[in-house]
Amino acid sequence: MDGVSFAYRGGEEDAVHALRDLNLEIEQGRLTAVIGHNGSGKSTLVKLLTAVLYPTEGEVRVEDIVVRHETRWEVRSRVSVVFQDPDDQLVMNRVADDVAFGPENLGLPRGEIAERVEFALGAMDLTDLSEKIVDDLSLGQKQRTAIAGALAMRPRYLILDEPTSLLPAVAGERLVKTARELKDREGMGVIHVTHSMSEAALFDRVIVMDAGRLVMDGTPAEVFRRADELRAIGLDVPLGASIAQRLRSRGVPLEGDVLTNADLRKAVSALPRPVEGSG
Ligand SMILES: Nc1ncnc2c1ncn2[C@@H]1O[C@H](COP(=O)(O)OP(=O)(O)O)[C@@H](O)[C@H]1O
Ligand SMILES: [Mg+2]
């Protein structure tokens, strides 16, 4: 994204400036989390990356393609997106048919479609549910079906816009693990918009949005070290990181980057113990 701004137009005065002068490069083969308060522009960013919306100013490119109305199909063949509510995205009755829907619309040969569907179902652990009726699935299973449908497109980039906000935390962690496996296996770029700080801590890169601007960009360790700035824009840090910060501020010499609860346990158990009798 090159100098990208986007405004939703109401009348002249009540245009909503959802994104302001964004410069951002997202690479393949890396897991990128996007966090930010409600209304900070995350979904608008996702829509610009998938040719659902087009910039008011600046340019969005997906590899060598400039995102425009005329290039939208080519863009969408490289970038797949899953939004929050699976019910808006599932179109067919049967799980396997829904996953096949996208590749069928690409006009691929039968064998290729079958292969992609099998791969996507397997990746989302849905093989046993492939003959089920979508309406009978749990919310989590529907969400996995929507993601399988996106994967069956074999995108170079997969964008997930808060797909785990409706799921329990364990399902969120599992999805991040699956995303990592897919990235390693397929070299895919994964962009994951999330509310969960503990999920974001598992990514390679964290981008922080506030009021339409990109305000932080770095590794989870770099971003979550800035706990006070994050709190000032309505975000929290993962619990393990927050406790570590408080311990350090009281002089406890914790070593290394502490993000997760597991990191914290490790850092605490590595603390030097006072020698008995030395005072
Ligand atoms: N269709 C729309 N029309 C007008 N304003 C919108 C529309 N969609 C989103 N907005 C506004 O744009 C801003 C960014 O919204 P959004 O990108 O959905 O943020 P997020 O996904 O971070 O919650 C917010 O102020 C929101 O109210
Ligand atoms: Mg959103």
Question: What's the rounded mean pLDDT across residues 226-248?
Answer: 90
Question: What's the rounded mean pLDDT across residues 18-30?
Answer: 93
pLDDT band at 241 (very low <50, low <70, confident <90, very high): confident
| pLDDT value at 257 more than 80 | yes
pLDDT, tens only, 197-209: 888 988 999 999 9
pLDDT at 230: 94
Q: Is 35 left (phi over 0), alpha (psi -120 to 50) or beta?
A: beta
Query: Distance, CA 51 to ligand 2 centroid (Å)?
Result: 16
pLDDT at 132: 96
pLDDT band at 252 (very low <50, low <70, confident <90, very high): very high
Q: Which residue ranges have their beta carbon within 6 Å of ligand 1?
A: 8, 16, 18, 36, 38-44
| pLDDT value at 279 more than 60 | no
Max Cα–Cα distance, the chain, nearest Å: 78
pLDDT at 115: 95
| Gap between the Cα atoms of 156 and 30, Å rounded | 11
Tokens for 22, please give them. Answer: 């964004």
| Gap between the Cα atoms of 95 and 108, Å rounded | 19
Tell whether pTM > 0.95.
no
pLDDT at 250: 93
Query: Distance, CA 44 to ligand 1 centroid (Å)?
Result: 6
pLDDT, tens only, 69-95: 999 999 998 999 998 888 888 989 999
- Compute CA 144 distance to the chain's CA centroid, rounded to the nearest angstrom: 14
Question: What's the rounded mean pLDDT across residues 18-45?
Answer: 94
Query: Distance, CA 202 to ligand 2 centroid (Å)?
Result: 20
Query: Distance, CA 39 to ligand 1 centroid (Å)?
Result: 5
Helix 95-105 × helix 110-123 angle, to 10°: 130
Burial-class residue 93 by CB neighbours within 10 Å (0-12, 13-18, 19+).
Answer: exposed
Q: 83, 74 in Cβ contact below 8 A?
A: no
**Measured torsion, CA atoms of residues 107, 112, 116, 118, in degrees rounded to the nearest 10:** 130
| pLDDT value at 179 more than 90 | no
| Gap between the Cα atoms of 209 and 20, Å rounded | 10
Pocket test for ligand 1, best of 14, 16, 34, 213 (most atoms within 8 A of CB): 16
| pLDDT value at 255 more than 70 | yes
Query: Distance, CA 218 to ligand 2 centroid (Å)?
Result: 21
Query: Distance, CA 255 to ligand 2 centroid (Å)?
Result: 36
Helices (H), the chain: 42-49, 72-78, 95-105, 110-123, 139-151, 169-186, 197-200, 220-224, 227-232, 239-249, 261-269
pLDDT at 183: 84
Give the ligand whose atoms come closest to the C-alpha of residue 207: 1
Least confident among 52-56, 115-119, 243-247, 272-276: 272-276
| pLDDT value at 180 more than 60 | yes
Closest CA to 159 of 167, 168, 150: 150
Pocket test for ligand 1, best of 43, 46, 48, 160 (most atoms within 8 A of CB): 43
Residue ranges near ligand 2 (ion) with Cβ within 5 Å: 42-43
| Gap between the Cα atoms of 211 and 214, Å rounded | 9
Please tell me whether residue 141 adopts helix, strand or coil conformation.
Answer: helix
pLDDT at 47: 96
Q: Please give the CATH number for the structural domain made up of 2-237.
A: 3.40.50.300
Pocket test for ligand 1, best of 40, 44, 210 (most atoms within 8 A of CB): 44
Question: What's the rounded mean pLDDT across residues 185-200?
Answer: 87
Query: Distance, CA 104 to ligand 2 centroid (Å)?
Result: 29
| Gap between the Cα atoms of 206 and 221, Å rounded | 9
Which residue CA neighbors atom 6 of ligand 1 most closely? Answer: 8
Least confident among 30-44, 158-172, 200-214, 215-229: 158-172
Q: 53, 41 in Cβ contact below 8 A?
A: no
Which residue CA neighbors atom 18 of ligand 1 most closely? Answer: 43
Tokens for 8, please give them. Answer: 């939703």
**Which residues on neighbouring strands pair with residue 33, listed in sequence order?**
192, 206
